[in-house]
Amino acid sequence: MGKKMTLKDLAPKCDLSISYISQIERGEASPSLSTLNRLAKVLDLTIWRLLRDDDEVVKENQLNKTEPQVVNDVKRLQFGVYPTNNYITHVKLVRKDGRKTITLPGSNTRYEMLTPDLNRKMQVFYMEAESGVESGQGWFEHEGEECCLVLSGQLELEVGNEKFLLETGDSLYFPSGISHHWRNLCEEKVILMWILTPPAF
């Protein structure tokens, strides 16, 4: 749940000007990923939530409720349905052409969600990054754990004081609380899969 505060309250906490935040709010400015990360932390939101329309959020938060059938005192659920008090309510299939796509402002990086929605404990992304693209000027730290798998190309990934060159088929796991940053140093596009828990966007 986001924190309700005025632009005057928000600006100093994010080290941003009131006018710049206002421009972002009106869609007149394209903030960097690091700027979005700062705003999200102060507002207690994910970056994904900052980039989405309110109507879309309301629709996604409406979970389907399926009551179990009671047969001989045994509760039986329809195949593929979990109890309504579980964080998962249905088994979800995500078709390739039905993935939710994220393109961050001012970036050519493309993220495609392999997980169906935000009501999960894990977030999985398919990502493509062109030559020379990096995760932003800043470094990132957030709650949880993550793993990066290189499906094609090469990626330089820095975690804390260590630098790793990942090639096709390589993966790197690390606690997300350690500062991290990535860049595509090769001449071709790099294709990755990111797994994060809990969701960071």
pLDDT score of 75: 46
Q: Give the chain's residues under pLDDT 70.
A: 1-4, 33, 47-90, 104-108, 136-137
Residue 40 near residue 72, CB atoms below 8 Å = no
pLDDT score of 66: 44
Quick check: pTM over 0.75? no
Q: What are the CA-CA distances from residue 194 to residues 24, 28, 107, 145 (Å)?
A: 27, 30, 17, 11
Domain 7-63+91-197: which topology?
Jelly Rolls (2.60.120)
